[in-house]
């Protein structure tokens, strides 16, 4: 199952790649794929580091939930500009 962990970001990035073949609604550049790939790898590494160091299932769940929430907020900001910051690209 270690191969799945290594290729999970690539498999997730295949979703927009396939969508680009069938619709004009999805328009990602190479830069978009690189940034999202780096974000997914950072998410996976962060969760793995926390899982190895934190004791207690409730505390682990809360910390992982915060990491995932931060990932989703950053993704939303970069995608559509939820907060109107300069990283939204608009």
DSSP of 61-89: HHHHHHHHHHHHHHHHHHHH-SS--GGG-
pLDDT for 36: 94
pLDDT of amino acid 64: 95
pLDDT at position 66? 96
Give the model confidence (pLDDT) of 2-61 as tens digits.
Answer: 777 778 888 999 999 999 999 999 999 999 999 999 999 999 999 999 999 999 999 999
Domain extent, residue 26, equals 2-88
How many structural domains is the chain composed of? 1
């Amino acid at each position: 199952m270690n191969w799945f962990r290594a290729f999970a970001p690539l498999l997730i990035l295949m979703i927009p790649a396939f969508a680009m073949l069938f619709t004009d609604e999805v328009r990602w550049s190479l830069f978009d794929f690189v940034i999202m790939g780096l974000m997914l790898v950072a998410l996976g590494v962060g969760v793995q580091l926390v899982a190895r160091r934190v004791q207690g299932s409730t505390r682990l769940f809360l910390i992982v939930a915060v990491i995932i929430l931060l990932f989703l907020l950053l993704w939303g900001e970069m995608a559509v500009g939820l907060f109107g910051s300069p990283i939204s690209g608009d």
